[in-house]
Amino acid sequence: MDVDGVLTRGEIAIISDGTEMRLFNSQDGVGLMVAYQAGLQTAIITGRATEAVRKRAEEVKISHIVMGTFSKLQPLLELCERLGLAPTEVAYVGDDVPDIPPMKHVGFAVAVANAVDEVKRVAHYITERAGGEGAVRETIELLLKAQGKWEKAVGEFIGDPEWNRGL
């Protein structure tokens, strides 16, 4: 998945000392940690390389971090090869034109609700939530529910395997 516009609302604040600041959605973070609990490999491929993004990725258990590249297809293909996956076994979440090449190669291309029209045209699914506002959580929940893993992963994440009994 992309970072700016997907895990964030796409806004970048640059402080006077040149430090960049981004805001991340907490529900996306929980979704990523539930995905980790379920054994789902996650990755970010982003054009900007910042310590804030690396720190957040580590906090929410993102498995693979590729930063500093605006050409996203080659890193995606290399990651697939390293993991022994065909691109058709991969989902990718994007919001802007640099995300189109990887989206055209994966099995499940997701555009966030506020993605540009060009990205929406190549997507298999468009989220109801905007980037930085829970779109990643929505996608993870959709994927894990389709695999029948959501309920168990949530239970393991919160330490209560019977959390939904009687609901």
Percent above pLDDT 90 for the chain? 86
Assess whether pLDDT exceeds 90 at residue 165. Answer: no
Helix (H, G, I), strand (E, B) or coil at 119: helix
pLDDT at 12 over 90: no
Instruction: Compute, in degrees rounded to 10, the torsion defined by CA atoms 132, 136, 141, 144.
Output: -170
Q: Could you tell me where the DSSP H helices lie in the chain? A: 26-37, 51-59, 73-83, 100-105, 117-122, 135-146, 150-158
At 18-72, the pLDDT tens digits run 888 889 999 999 999 999 999 999 999 999 888 889 999 999 999 999 999 989 9
In a domain, 138, yes or no: yes
pTM equals 0.93
CA distance 14 to 12: 6
Residue 167 lies in a domain: no
Q: Is 39 left (phi over 0), alpha (psi -120 to 50) or beta?
A: left
Q: Is 135 exposed, middle or buried (0-12, 13-18, 19+ CB in 10 A)?
A: buried
Distances (CA, A) of 73 to 25, 65, 87, 165: 26, 14, 10, 43
* CATH code where residue 17 lies: 3.40.50.1000
Full domain range(s) for residue 46: 13-158
The residues near 104 (Cβ < 8 Å, ≥ 6 apart) are 122
User: Residue 159, Cα to own-chain centre: how many angstroms?
Assistant: 24
Q: How many domains does the chain have?
A: 1
**pLDDT > 80? residue 128:** yes
Residue 32: inside a domain, yes or no? yes
pLDDT band of 117, cuts 50, 70, 90: very high
Task: Give a yes or no: residue 136 inside a domain.
Answer: yes
Residue 60 belongs to some domain of the structure? yes
Residue 41 domain flag:
yes
Q: What pLDDT does residue 21 have?
A: 85
Residue 54 lies in a domain: yes
User: Is 37 a domain residue?
Assistant: yes
Mean pLDDT in residue range 102-127: 99
